[in-house]
Amino acid sequence: MILIKSKREIDLIRESCKIVAETLQLLKRYAKAGVTTLELDKIAEDYIRSNNARPAFKGYSQAGSIDFPGSICSSIDDEVVHGIPSNRILKDGEILSIDVGVEKNGYYGDAALTIAIGEISNEKKQLMEVTEKSLYLAIEQAVEKNRIGDISNAVQSYVDKFGFGIVRDLTGHGVGKYLHEEPQIPNFGKKNSGAIIKSGMTIAIEPMINLGTYKVIVAEDGWTILTADGKPSAHFEHTIAIIDGKPEILTIN
Ligand code: MG
């Protein structure tokens, strides 16, 4: 069931989303060569908790894995999403995807971005630009009376032009009282298919785009999703609300 939120609930989600956005901006400043992803994790957790909120990913459970140990997901190069913060040191030329989830007063916010560490290759640059652009094209389609498939198709029709691989095994999702709610929002699909979009819906749209194959595998840690061919991947995500028929991005400050 797709939950429709009241104005009061959207305001609570907005509050969590604001902390998500601020955390990502903070991490953007600290994500440099020589820094470990565990250090970034600590910065994020401290900031989130200083706002009387909770890092939503910490302790998140998934069948067959340990509970997620990090406050953020940090995924480098061929790591698509769900990378566990560690003592791995960031290096020049890498791309780092950071995903942040926050819960405050019982409501969630969720967003992600990919950051260049120092000078990166042109192909990584293009991958990041195309992934981010596809997110904004998708958000434009999140208007009342459109369908979820219109969002999915906006990502696919744009990304396909570049021949990049669109991850199929993971999707965007509703967000609100729970981190993951219905509907699922795939990054590929047909126009005019799926659930109808209505005011009061709050959803996270999150294209995960690979330079090579769309295929992914799960690492031995049970969490990290890797590209099957070892080529890099990018990830951009916003939580949005449909208000008076139009999308409003909540994870911006
Ligand atoms: Mg998400």
**Which domains occur in the chain, in start order?**
7-249 (3.90.230.10)
* 151: pLDDT strictly greater than 90: yes
CA-to-CA distance for 226 and 219, rounded, in angstroms?
7
CA of 239 relative to ligand 1 center, distance in Å? 8
CA of 205 relative to ligand 1 center, distance in Å? 7
CA of 111 relative to ligand 1 center, distance in Å? 6
Distant-in-sequence, close-in-space partners of 161: CB < 8 Å, separation ≥ 6: none
CA-to-CA distance for 221 and 86, rounded, in angstroms?
12
* 211: pLDDT strictly greater than 90: yes
pLDDT digits (tens, 9 = 90+) for 66-99: 999 999 999 999 999 999 999 999 999 999 999 9
Mean pLDDT of 139-146: 98
Mean pLDDT of 7-17: 98
* 64: pLDDT strictly greater than 90: no
* 63: pLDDT strictly greater than 90: no
CA-to-CA distance for 59 and 155, rounded, in angstroms?
31
Distant-in-sequence, close-in-space partners of 15: CB < 8 Å, separation ≥ 6: 104, 105, 107, 109
Q: Find, among 172, 203, 198, the residue nearest to 187 by Cα.
A: 172
CA-to-CA distance for 84 and 44, rounded, in angstroms?
14
CA-to-CA distance for 193 and 182, rounded, in angstroms?
15
Confidence band of 42 (pLDDT split at 50, 70, 90): very high
CA of 82 relative to ligand 1 center, distance in Å? 10
Distant-in-sequence, close-in-space partners of 11: CB < 8 Å, separation ≥ 6: none
How many alpha carbons fall within 13 Å on the CB side of residue 132?
11
Confidence band of 60 (pLDDT split at 50, 70, 90): very high
CA of 179 relative to ligand 1 center, distance in Å? 8
Task: Answer positive or negative: Cα dihedral of 127, 227, 56, 47.
Answer: negative
* 125: pLDDT strictly greater than 90: yes
Res 253: pLDDT: 81
* 23: pLDDT strictly greater than 90: yes
CA of 121 relative to ligand 1 center, distance in Å? 27
Task: Answer positive or negative: Cα dihedral of 38, 253, 155, 190.
Answer: positive
